[in-house]
Amino acid sequence: MNISLKGKKALVGGSSRGIGKAIAQQLANSGASVTLMARSEDKLKNVIDELPVESGQKHQYLLVDFTDFKKYKSTILDYFKKNSVDILVNNTQGPSAGGALEKKVDDYQNAFDLLFKSVVFTTELALEQMIKNEWGRIINIASVSVKEPLSYLALSNTIRAAVVTWAKSLATDVAQHQITVNSILTGYFDTERIHDLNETKAKKLGIPIEEVKSNMEEQVPAKRIGKPEEYGYLVAFLASDRAAYITGTNIPIDGGLLKSL
């Protein structure tokens, strides 16, 4: 099956590394023009240099810090004054790890700004032109923890659950405009983020990080951690015309990790 996104414009959050970078690479490989978003300009420039440039493709980047919603709001508003997108991939860095008893009200507010407000605001801006075009793809990067909460990710469990619920509601409202809204429930992938979480968990448990990783792999029926490029393949499919009848879904990509239906 050929996936062609030629002529489409994509905006990908958190795309200087890890899953976000893999998504940007696969969208570009499929012919889309990609705008990257992250806070490290050096890393963004490096990713831009790695993206393929065929006829008509134009890649660019936005320097943003999702943890500062006020500044992010200003930056993304300026972007949409001059640009429109066909494909929006809502992805940010995750909030700090920790259990429910460790987190305070302010922590939840900060996580809400990071994971929810930035997603909703960016989507509102993107939808204006998508509705006019009668075509669009909104893809939210969420987590398996919205279905089976992880004890050490209380903030992520809580706020990402709100995102996927909002996305389900939005999907119903915009389907008539041939706009799809889907959320991907992310399992364990070989990224810097998972390494950081494993390091935190190793220190807390007083065990080597290699043991944490081994235990993680053992939990997955596939007996391995996912490759970021595998994630990119799914997003490229959902962004294409091939997935026009898929909307309002929560799709796990986890090697069989989730035990619930």
As annotated, the active-site residues are: 152
Phi and psi for 170 in degrees, rounded to 5? -65, -40
Which residues touch 107 (CB under 8 Å, ≥6 apart)?
95, 96, 98, 155
Question: Taking the alpha carbons of 91, 96, 100, 103 in that order, is the dihedral positive or negative?
Answer: negative
CB-based contact 154:102 (threshold 8 Å): yes
Residue 173 region, left (φ>0) first, then alpha (ψ -120 to 50), else beta?
A: alpha
Helix (H, G, I), strand (E, B) or coil at 249: coil
